[in-house]
Amino acid sequence: MELSLLQAILLGLYYWFAVWYMGYSVLFVFTGPLFTAMICGFVLGDVSTAMKIGATIQPMFLAFTAAGGTAVWDETAATIGGCTITMVSGLPVESAVTIAVPLSLLCAQLHTIRRLIMVYPVQKADQYAKTCNTKGIMFMATWWTIIVKFFLFAIPMIIAIYFGAEAVGNFITQLPEWITNALNATGKLLPALGFAMTINVIGRPQFLPFFLGGFFFAQYSGISGIPLALAGLFIAFMYYLILQASDNQEAAEDTGAQAAVEADKEGKKLLSKKDINKLVLRWNLMAEMSNSFARLQSLSFCAAFIPILKKLYGNDQEEFSAALTRHLMFFNTEGIWGSVVHGIVIAMEEQRALGAPIPIEAITGIKAGLMGPFAGIGDTIDWSTLKPLFTMLVLPLAENGSILAPILYFILLGGVTYTESYIFVNTGYKMGTEAALSILEGGSIQKFISCASVLGLFMMGGLSASMVSVYTTAQIPTGGEPMGIQSDILDAVAPGLLTLAAVLLVYKYLRSGHSMMKATFWLLGIGLVLGAVGIIGDGGFLIKPIMDLSAAA
């Protein structure tokens, strides 16, 4: 198929839209391979094939690795490039992963430039805060970032896709068979990195047997998707019962909730429920739009708070300006669980506006002290556990080419995380500083994280059994029929041993302190070399001729 200029423009515009990063709850939906593949399918006219390509690319990006806003890869660019080149050139679906990885690492450098450029709007917002120019702050937090990203992301993608996709595809189709095998074998090996990274993030070493259990359960039973998740939930529940039985500590009194009741009896309110919920929406929309190396989420935090600060201090320009300025200070947290901080800050600002002796240092201190702990909890629960779990639930649909995969993923991830954000902001506001204690105290969070890790690792094991494929067609010559190393030896011991070994070796490499970047290059190198000679995959320039001669004899 030929790629038209209109198709290239539409794909470039989607890339631009995705990197707006508008909507924290659905950010990873719009930028992720499944939703991006669906858009590519609509634009290129073959949704089913695009969804299958998205399903092969997705395992590479299962793990949440953007803590602190660091962009180590660009999965949107990887999927657009992988889908377009594969479909335009008529390449096998598995080839998309090998195309996607270098594109992902290359385009990640654009995000480094982005975060450097975004230093300017924060500095400009400082000037606007002095004169209470809230329209200027909002422009810098939203429209300025959107316009700049058009030139930084959309235009390069349009040019690259239109002029480069067909050329790259034609080059790949002319490659000899042994190179094609090397690319296909590498594409089937690379998802091991995504699974290994996710295991490293969500699971402590003592939980690794649950990964092994999920892997062999899927290998022997052949089940995946919802049935696998139900089995994982049963095991996680059993683990929870064991934790409960071994926990002899008395439950702590819910002092936070009691404090909330007392506060409601005593205090006057300047803010309404509508004001609080408006902040939830504004923060969710803008949290990552203007993230910069200078002060990370500070501009988004201030922009989200503008209506509340205006209502509290609008009649006192000096106080209003001071409030805007202090909320342009450095801030960075996970945007869902970290929004407890927003609720606490609302309560403190409201009490200060009512005349309570709350010093500015107390407000900034609360932000600085709580953003880290809640970021750790949010990253672990939402993005390192729930996100991969939801992804795994819909991957079987994507593998079958179904458009339901990204739609269900959008509903599940967006619905759960936005609901959480609503609850946490309102909880923080009602309880004030007691909210932090009520959430962080006791062992309930740790129990939840442990049980989620059990479920996550079991699911990771089951899904890696089908999404990672490392095998060999090499044979051992005998006096009669050649003995297949894979079918007659390895599978006779246990199915999928090479696949399991690949995932566990990458996991061990990452646990040793090596970076994801090094692991990626090692896997690329090993996959290409072993695939080229034919040790893995369907035969290369060394193994395949020997097999052909043996068969002829």
Q: What is the pLDDT of residue 55?
A: 92
Q: What is the pLDDT of residue 261?
A: 37
Give the pair of three-digit tokens for residue 518.
């090094």
Listed residue (422, 434, 425) closest to 254, CA to CA: 434
d(CA 88, CA 99): 13
379's CB contacts (< 8 A; 6+ apart) are: 64, 67, 334
User: Crossing angle of helices 208-221/444-467, nearest 10°?
Assistant: 40
Q: What is the pLDDT of residue 145?
A: 95
d(CA 460, CA 215): 8
What pTM, to 2 d.p., does this model score?
0.74
Listed residue (447, 442, 456, 454) closest to 245, CA to CA: 447
Is the four-CA dihedral 203, 205, 206, 209 of positive or negative sign?
positive
Give the pair of three-digit tokens for residue 473.
């067609």
- Across the chain, which has 553 residues, the per-10-residue mean pLDDT values are 90 96 92 95 94 90 59 85 90 82 79 85 92 95 96 93 74 68 74 74 75 88 74 82 63 39 54 92 93 84 95 91 90 87 89 81 75 73 84 89 94 94 89 54 61 76 78 75 78 86 89 78 84 76 55 51
User: Crossing angle of helices 298-313/119-130, nearest 10°?
Assistant: 20
Give the pair of three-digit tokens for residue 454.
């059990």
d(CA 136, CA 309): 15
CA torsion 486-491-493-498 (nearest 10°) is: 60
DSSP 247-293: --SPPPP-HHHHHHHHHHHH---SS-HHHHHHHHHHHHHHTTTT-BT
d(CA 530, CA 485): 15
Q: What is the pLDDT of residue 256?
A: 36
Name the 3-class secondary structure at 331. strand
Give the pair of three-digit tokens for residue 90.
């008529």
DSSP 420-476: HHHHHHHHHHHHTTHHHHHHHSSSHHHHHHHHHHHHHHHHHHHHHHHH----B--EE
Q: What is the pLDDT of residue 402?
A: 92
Q: What is the pLDDT of residue 252?
A: 37
Within 10 Å of residue 355's Cβ, how many Cβ atoms?
7
- H helices within 19-141, ranges in order? 27-31, 33-44, 47-57, 75-89, 95-117, 119-130, 134-141
